[in-house]
Structure 1
Amino acid sequence: MKTMRLTKQALNSERTRIILKTAFYGVLSTVSEDGMPYGVPLNHVLADNKLYFHCTVKGHKLENILHNSKACFTVVGDTKMLLEIFTAHFESVIAFGTVRILKEPVDVARAVRLLCEKNTPQRLDVVDSVIAGYLSKLNALEMTIEHLTGKASED
């Protein structure tokens, strides 16, 4: 794994995890069988050292994961353009790891519930019945984080 070039911009582990945990969405990047990169925006949830995503039961990213389970997930935190000096303050996180497609309905339901707890906490009273109604049309992915970097620029 390459190290960050501009180490003075590196964030500590705690701030990196906060950005990853609170970001609403990010981009999951995978590689197709023909070597073509593919990035898709997804919402996510961080639980322990894993990221969870939901998706449908077919698609490009699933084909890619079956071909090569290595992936990265990128989120951008706070960003502010500084027009007077032609730059921006930003913070970002990249998680590198291995993705697996969850097979068991109980695991898919757990991942989707975690997403709902993060993104729609005001609807938890109906979440389990909604998940049960859509479970046959849902898929979930679990990414085990192997390496995590956070970066910020405030120059």
Structure 2
Amino acid sequence: MVFREMRRKKQVLSLAENIQVLNRGTSGVLAVSGDADYPYAVPLSYVYHDNKIFFHCAKSGHKLDAIARSEKVSFCVIDKDQVVPEEYTSYFRSVIVFGKARILVDEAERRSALETLSARYSPDHEQGRLQEIEREFKAVCMIELTIEHMSGKEAIELVKAKHR
């Protein structure tokens, strides 16, 4: 699959900047092909690790049904959204990734992904997060999104500010 090139080339973020956005973010929106071919986009917490995105969910639901039907998904993280009323614009920065999602079934893979995710949100509480993982492990589903394409964009005003 060939992914579209961004029209506004001056506003494209570099790969390093895209990764910084993904590492800064704490939530994003996963988009899947939902019921009756309606797009289904759901906000969720995630972790970016080794060119993959991991997130957790319950063991059943709309998101999992959609991924079972089609592994192709997109995921968007908004890093900046500053409305500037007097300029009739917003200073924005966001990244969108396209890739394939898979439900992790191997116990070691699930545990590793869950530990990576929990360490992202509770880095200073290792003992507590390991206890929580043990308590909830059987009830948690982990999903791995392997990134095939990533693009980021920011407002032209932010581009100009970088070059000043």
TM-score (norm 2): 0.91
1:69 positional shift: 0.2
What are the ranges of 5 or more consecutive residues in structure 1 without an aligned counterpart?
A: none
Answering whether residue 104 of structure 2 is matched by residue 93 of structure 1, we say: no
1:11 aligns with 2:13: yes
Tell me if 1:66 matches 2:91.
Answer: no
Equivalent in the alignment of 1:43 = 45
In the aligned structure 1, how far is the partner of 2:136 from the partner of 2:119? 17
2:57 matched residue in structure 1: 55
CA contact (8 A) 2:75 2:96 kept: yes
Shift of 1:33: 4.9
Instruction: Report the counterpart of residue 128 of structure 1 in structure 2.
Output: 130
Q: How many residues are paired up?
A: 155
Q: Give the 3-state SS of the residue equivalent to 1:122 in structure 2.
A: coil
Q: Judge which range, 62-71 or 107-116, deviates more.
A: 107-116
RMSD: 1.1
5+ residue gaps, structure 2, are 158-164
Distance in 1 between the 2:132 and 2:90 partners?
A: 41
Amino acid at match of 1:135: F
5 Å matches for 1:103-114? 103-114=105-116
Identify the structure with the greater strand proportion.
Answer: 1
Runs (4 or more) in structure 1 with deviation over 4 Å come to none
| One-letter amino acid of the structure 2 residue matched with residue 69 of structure 1 | E
Q: CA deviation at 1:116?
A: 1.2
- In the alignment, which residue of structure 2 is the partner of 1:77? 79
Query: Does the alignment pair 1:146 with 2:132?
Result: no
Once the two structures are TM-superposed, the CA of residue 104 in structure 1 deviates from its matched residue by 1.7
The alignment's TM-score, normalised by the length of structure 1, stands at 0.96
2:114 is matched by which residue type in structure 1?
V
Question: Which is worse superposed, 135-144 or 103-112?
Answer: 103-112
SS in 1 for 2:31: strand
Q: Aligned with 1:121: secondary structure?
A: coil
